[in-house]
Structure 1
Amino acid sequence: MRVFVDGNEIELGPGACLADALQKAGSKPAEGAIVGVVKGRGEKSRQTNSYWLNTSKGRIRIELLENELQKIWHEVVDRILGSRVRWATADGVALGGFSSEISFGRSAHEYNRWEVVLGAAGFDAENTQLIFIHRRHSAIYGTPDNGGVFAHVVGGKSTLDRLEIGDKIEGIEPIVEWQDLTEKTSTLDMTLPLEEDMEIYTRVQAELIEEAPLGAEFFLASTRDGTFRVDSVSSSYVLSDQLLTERVAYEHREPRLEGVVTVRTVGRGLGRIFIYKQDRTSNPSHSVVARVVKGMDMIKLARPGQLITFDVTPERIMLLGKSLEDAREEMRERGIEAEAVGYIGEDAVVVKQDPGATMEILKAKRVKLSAIPSSRLISVQLYYDLAPKSLDYFRHVTGLKEKPLGPLPVYFTYESTLLFKPEVEAVSYKELLPENKPVGLVPAGSIGISNQVSKKIGMVGIRLEEDRRYGPSGEKFEATNIIGRVLEPEKLRDVKDGETIYIREER
């Protein structure tokens, strides 16, 4: 039995299931992530009149016309692959040459914008060209009596403007409209029986855009576990709310074509990440940060609440939380100069990198690392189910939403209590309603936040010893939200006012 896993053909025995295919293909989805399965597309592909032409400058979609040249197209489509731009003018752009059995003449014809023409360059069928019309004009292209128009451009029109001498066609894909495929599913069931010619998809591959370094880093943060969480689905996109309300700079505008990844930078839905399934125009609220280059079928199969395995290139450079020695070695392997400032002892742990964004580091080929003694890096466990709103605030002000560790400046210490004043002010736009208030006593090591009942709303505290009267932030129980606990309280015994400790979440 023949099946395809992420585009690669493999052979399986009778009665094989999904797990067998993944094992033979050596493909392992991320934990909890879906696998996509499509059946019966091959036959529909042979019937389609719609194609993607993948060029070195982007994709162009064409729709064939119902005329006699359709037969010529189907005969030569494999020969067109690799064709290069032969000329590009204000009238159009031609790619070739390839052999065909086209009949040709020497008469001029009228052409309109977005038409696609088959013509014999030099009146030689062995040197046939694909000509895309930019504007209305009359010309002699060595075409049949009907003018040689066999298709229209219906997508990726901006790509035509960017084509120049030397660009080429790198791939040709027949398009089967997704809604026409009735046998398609996303599943976690590894025992799913397989059938001949099934297509199996396990992951999506995306490439970051150089023009949006901060937005690209934002996207890397949302996929740092190797997955993209789908929170909502429409006919034209899927979106993730994983970093909803987090601010990100607007950097790059371009049409939101199929496969484009954007981040909403202003207004309602700030911080949402969109992946487009259909072409849409550009939008001043959406900064384009990446493009899907493989695995769009997974995007189209996904449903709300599901995880998709994601591979993003270039790989994120995130050195925070690593030992200084390991961080330096990693940068050496990637050809990047790493300068260490501040503490450089054997137990040094990186807590800052400058630049912070992967694309900026790769461009500069250097990064400055700041480290602290490992005794000032504290591991914590957070209570997502018990205090979701408070944790949204806490992870925002510490940067834990986007990074593996974050700072907590020490505001005041007394007896067995430490108070912290976050670097980021967020009480004006983050809710801190009472939730998970302590009952009976506060266990040693508890982390708490002063809620809206308190005058010192947003203050973070850690209690090193249990207490039956006051919460970790020094407030009464009704003004305290318990959000987690410190796993290494002994590290905090000698902390002084004005210091900054760093916390790392353990899951």
Structure 2
Amino acid sequence: MEVFLDGERVEVPAGSRLGDLLPGRDPQCSVAVIRPVLEEAAESQEVRFVTTAGDMVVEVADPDVVSRLFRPGLAERLRLHWQDRYAAAFGPFESGVRPAREPGRYERGDVILGCGGYDPTQSYLIFARMRHTADYGAQADGGVIGRVVTGRGLLDRIANGDRVIEVERIFRRADRSHAVITRDADFPLEEGMLVVSYVEAEVQGFGADGIDTRAARSVEHFLLSVQSGRFRIGRSSSTHVVDPHLVPTKVPAEFSGPRLEGTVTVRTAGKSSGAVYIYTQGVSASPAHTVVGRVVHGIELVRFAGDNDLLAIRAEPEQFDLVGFTLAEAEAAAARRGVALTADAAGGDRVVVGQTPATTLEVLADGAVKVATQPPDQVISVTLEEAAAPRSVTIFREVTGLKHHAVGKMPLVFRFEDVSLFKPKIGKGVGIIPENVPTGEVPAFTLAMTNDSRRGAGMVGVRSLPNAEFGPTSEPLTGTNIIGKVLDAEKLDTMREGTTVYVREVK
């Protein structure tokens, strides 16, 4: 039988299960399984174009266009008539378009109804490949009748000789009775099912026509959020889903715009600052949201997913962050991305502790990056007890930079006998409540933070010897929050007071 996996037709044996179709799937991630809908029940705004190069799904803005334009026999007229770097046109066919004889502005993925020679009998469906301005013989509103929501990569693969084989409406947007969100590998597949296994987003400012770095910092936050390849829905609503796992984080408001379906934003103000939103229904722009991208594949999965669902997600481009790599690894990674790398020192085992430019879009736009490195004996490894001391660990990651990079840093301010003390900069008003307070002897190499019960709140320390009276920061045990363990504390013996100590979290 045939099913559609992420826009591609796939033949599977009868009786196949979801696990057979996706053997390498992360079992924690949900997928959308959408059953076929009877034609008479499918009052859909989504249309699938089956072409000789692959499949695309177009969301049509006006439901009337679906019934008026996409009639039986249309596919027979849709052959690639012309193409250039900006667009590809299929036709000709007859339509009721009234050409305005003026140019329109288009975005990648827009589907335009236009005509050749301003003659409606020579109409075309034009698929925009990149942002551009052109006169396609469209109506005064620009003639955009829809947008490609699945299979957008096909726009770059269409070639001479390609044609549309079939045009078909698919499931109703709001009809959840035909859609199932599941993680069950034994879920039975049926003929004609549509399976959507991941979400793909293209970031703001990145496209075939160049790189715009005006939203580089907010885009970097989004790329960090999805670095693991996962989007965890903390809350879903009728208009959007939210991943709040990096809340709170200060993110600059760089690009305001309407939040259309598929738009990805980051909240820049309020208690949820740093949360990432994906919209399933259009709403107006908000000064508290900055646009960081838009979904180019998998909006169906987002649309039907619910609270606590974990979605597989990809971002284009991938984050470019070399911090934490050895210099040899960084050089190889930069070469793969076509980026020229300059280091402050030689030595393949040196650890990258900083990069300039700091954001992915700026690096890719420049085509070059400079890295700061340290010898490996200047980087200590720690494990953190997030389950036992969630707030203290969160604060530690924030103030050291481990929240944003694989290597953080903190100043070594004092060393005496078996104690090493660090004083990371903690903002005013940050409360360090007592948690994971020891009740007996504290083992050697335990990493701890002084809580708000003592004047030295925020001090971080480690002891090389066990102690049953004082914690690693030399405070009484009641003033000590245990946050983890130092794995290679012997490195501290060579470090002097006033130096910066670099720290790597081992998970």
TM-score category of the 2 structures, normalised to the smaller one: 0.7 to 0.9
Partners of 2:328 and 2:349 within 8 A in 1: no
Structure 2 stretches of 5 or more lacking a match? Answer: 50-57, 84-88, 101-110, 126-136, 149-162, 206-213
Paired amino acid for 2:323: L
Change (3 A) 1:444 1:206: same
Name 1:339's counterpart in structure 2. 342
Change (3 A) 1:459 1:190: same
Paired amino acid for 1:98: P
What are the Cα deviations for residues 170-214 of structure 1, in whole angstroms up to 9, with x where unaligned?
Answer: 998846433224032222211222221122121111111124111
Name 2:131's counterpart in structure 1. none
Correspondence 1:498 to 2:498: yes
Name 2:192's counterpart in structure 1. 197
Correspondence 1:368 to 2:374: no
Structure 1 stretches of 5 or more lacking a match? Answer: 86-94, 109-115, 136-150, 157-169
Q: Give the Cα separation in 2 of the matches to 1:463 and 1:480.
A: 13
Partners of 1:254 and 1:288 within 8 A in 2: yes
Partners of 1:17 and 1:191 within 8 A in 2: yes
Q: How many pairs align?
A: 450
Q: Give the Cα separation in 2 of the matches to 1:253 and 1:492.
A: 47
Paired amino acid for 2:28: G
Percent identity over the alignment is 34
Change (3 A) 1:83 1:376: same
Partners of 2:6 and 2:298 within 8 A in 1: yes
Give the secondary structure class of the aligned counterpart of 2:332.
helix
- After TM superposition, give the deviation of residue 273 of structure 1 in Å: 0.8
Q: Give the Cα separation in 1 of the matches to 2:318 and 2:304.
A: 25
Q: Give the Cα separation in 1 of the matches to 2:113 and 2:7.
A: 31
What are the Cα deviations for residues 10-45 of structure 1, in whole angstroms up to 9, with x where unaligned?
Answer: 12222211111113xxxx33452222211124x359
Name 2:259's counterpart in structure 1. 256
Name 1:421's counterpart in structure 2. 423
Q: What does 1:19-58 align with in structure 2 at a 5 Å threshold?
A: 19-23=19-23, 28-30=24-26, 32-41=28-37, 43-44=38-39, 47-48=42-43, 50-51=45-46
Say which is worse superposed, 386-395 or 8-17, in terms of deviation.
8-17
Q: Give the Cα separation in 1 of the matches to 2:112 and 2:421.
A: 73
- State which of 130, 140, 155 in structure 2 corresponds to 1:134: 140
Name 2:158's counterpart in structure 1. none
Q: Give the Cα separation in 2 of the matches to 1:103 and 1:303.
A: 41
Change (3 A) 1:354 1:78: farther
Name 2:393's counterpart in structure 1. 391
- State which of 171, 176, 184 in structure 1 corresponds to 2:179: 184
Give the secondary structure class of the aligned counterpart of 2:364.
helix
Q: Give the Cα separation in 1 of the matches to 2:506 and 2:455.
A: 31
- State which of 268, 276, 280 in structure 2 corresponds to 1:277: 280
Q: Give the Cα separation in 2 of the matches to 1:270 and 1:362.
A: 27
Paired amino acid for 2:93: S
Give the secondary structure class of the aligned counterpart of 2:352.
strand
Say which is worse superposed, 269-278 or 124-133, in terms of deviation.
124-133
- After TM superposition, give the deviation of residue 458 of structure 1 in Å: 1.1
Correspondence 1:98 to 2:92: yes
Name 2:219's counterpart in structure 1. 216
Change (3 A) 1:388 1:349: same
Q: Structure 1-normalised TM-score?
A: 0.80
Q: Give the Cα separation in 2 of the matches to 1:452 and 1:397.
A: 16
Name 2:74's counterpart in structure 1. 76
| The structure with more radius of gyration | 1
Change (3 A) 1:44 1:471: farther
Name 1:159's counterpart in structure 2. none
Change (3 A) 1:198 1:260: same
Name 2:298's counterpart in structure 1. 295
- After TM superposition, give the deviation of residue 331 of structure 1 in Å: 1.3
Partners of 1:390 and 1:431 within 8 A in 2: no
Correspondence 1:407 to 2:409: yes
Change (3 A) 1:14 1:467: same
Partners of 1:52 and 1:62 within 8 A in 2: no
Say which is worse superposed, 217-226 or 491-500, in terms of deviation.
491-500
Partners of 2:239 and 2:280 within 8 A in 1: yes
Give the secondary structure class of the aligned counterpart of 2:333.
helix
Paired amino acid for 2:364: L
Name 1:62's counterpart in structure 2. 62
- After TM superposition, give the deviation of residue 393 of structure 1 in Å: 0.8
Partners of 1:29 and 1:203 within 8 A in 2: no
Say which is worse superposed, 378-387 or 116-125, in terms of deviation.
116-125
Correspondence 1:321 to 2:327: no
Q: Give the Cα separation in 2 of the matches to 1:119 and 1:467.
A: 79
